[in-house]
A and B are shown apart, each in its own frame.
Chain A
């Protein structure tokens, strides 16, 4: 049995993420961000800037004139689009890896992350009581499973079999089974990565608790990641043999008075947005 800290300390390959992208994410907890701040965060990284400009000039964004500088890109596309593109570039290469410990093929985790990010934005817009801004919702959706990259490296065949046994025989969900076998789960491990990157506490919480969301004393961001993850699984993005070993939080369903029709509508809307997800797959 290990804590998330002990487990991360054992792992050699932590996902490499450009500092400039993390700087941009850390701006998310500020009430108002100026174009200058966004530009400054990005300008320190030439490689990221080059990739960003190339992405902005792809036909997907339909700009009339090609952009040549970060200033121009931020001005024309706006903070939200820039954040989406930068995150896609920054985390895409780290997250397009096969995860044998989860029976997940390369690109499946990344597609699931993008679908969850899309669902997360929609949920933030649908359930306004949650009080989550769309860019934050997108970000936490994108990063909710990043702990799997780390955990996967420690999952020997024996441990995998043990986790599988817990799910099949004891009716645990994936996160509960990981805790029973390892002492921690991919949510806690992912949250620890975000902490190391000095990302805002709300984001850390959203990743840590996406399988057991926090409702008291107030609904926290993990409620959004929880719902978004479940909707993504139902939208055809449930990678791995245990793709449906996810427990729905009863208190979340009750407190937001969620109806079956709402869930079907969300699944439909997420599916309708699948072209956009594929475009983002191509950017990274």
Chain B
């Protein structure tokens, strides 16, 4: 089976690449239907999930409307990349001017709601010194976690040993909650990503 795959004609691969790119173009040119609410049709905030922050306060994603958001997903028992994720978010924020920092929220949502209760979120928030504005550590129900992850393009999977395998991605949302960019560079601030954050903050909300 493997050898037959390696003999796949190049043309086939090229054709599929072309198809992929035309599909991508079709997706980016999707005409947004008139939104039924004030929310942009392509806003992540269309996910109407109820989340709970590290202080036990319930909120909806759309509470971040009007501010840009650096968002990601994690789980508190993660030992390796997740602490690095918080560091990277903080480093990215440090790359901004004080005026810019005032316009951006930092949002971390657990994809392990069965273990990550409010107490655990609070504990991480305190130990990592991210327990105050603009930081929010949050949890929601299992189904909503999967939906939010799907809109953010974040993948996660529970392994048999209780660890999660997951993509570590920092996602930038504009003031309307649209995904405008992402970086997978961890451990240091990504200059291109910081540039994108600055650009995003420089643009007015569409007000759609």
A binds B: no
Binding site for B on A (CB under 8 A): none
